[in-house]
Amino acid sequence: MSRRLYESNLGQSPGNVRGLAYGFGALLVAALACVGVSVSIAQGQRPSTHAPAEPKWKWSENPFSGDAEQIAEGERLYKSTCYICHADHGGRGPDLHKSKLKGTAFLRVVMEGRKGTQMPAWRTKLSEEEAWKILAYIEAGAEETQR
């Protein structure tokens, strides 16, 4: 009889331990979730400074570099949207072939514009793909003039 009792206790205790472990696990998950939620709330409520957060680009490097077809498309876009100010070698805006901006730094100016200058933001008019194509066109031109 006593042996039976002992066995049945033994049989139960691992279950209890497991139950306890689950309990702690659930508590831990809940605590982490609380921290996560409060952090995101804190971030959301932070007064927005005028500089927008770094946009999330699909590419970190130009996916169209050296692609003749996309460069031709970039030229078409450049002529219809940028040429009026930047022309072939600068006008109202600077000569973009001489710009030191590369990759996403270039894209950022194109998409966000430059506050307090005539450089407009193109975010609502050009897609990221189109901006990369324009850059591919400009880079291709820069290579030509170096030759």
Interaction site with ligand HEC (CB under 6 A)? 81-82, 84-86, 92-94, 96, 99-101, 106, 109-110, 114, 117-120, 122, 126, 134
Q: Residue 36 or residue 91: which is nearer to ligand HEC going by CB?
A: 91
Rounded Cα distance between 12 and 4, Å, is: 12
| Element spanning 30, H or E | helix 2-45
Q: Closest separation between CB of residue 48 and ligand HEC, Å?
A: 23
Q: How far is the CB of 69 from ligand HEC (least distance, A)?
A: 19
Closest approach of Cβ 37 to ligand HEC, in Å? 39
What value does the CA radius of gyration of the chain take, rounded to a whole number of Å?
30
Nearer to ligand HEC, 67 or 76 (CB): 76
What is d(CA 139, CA 107) in angstroms, rounded to the nearest whole number? 13
Report DSSP state, residue 49.
P
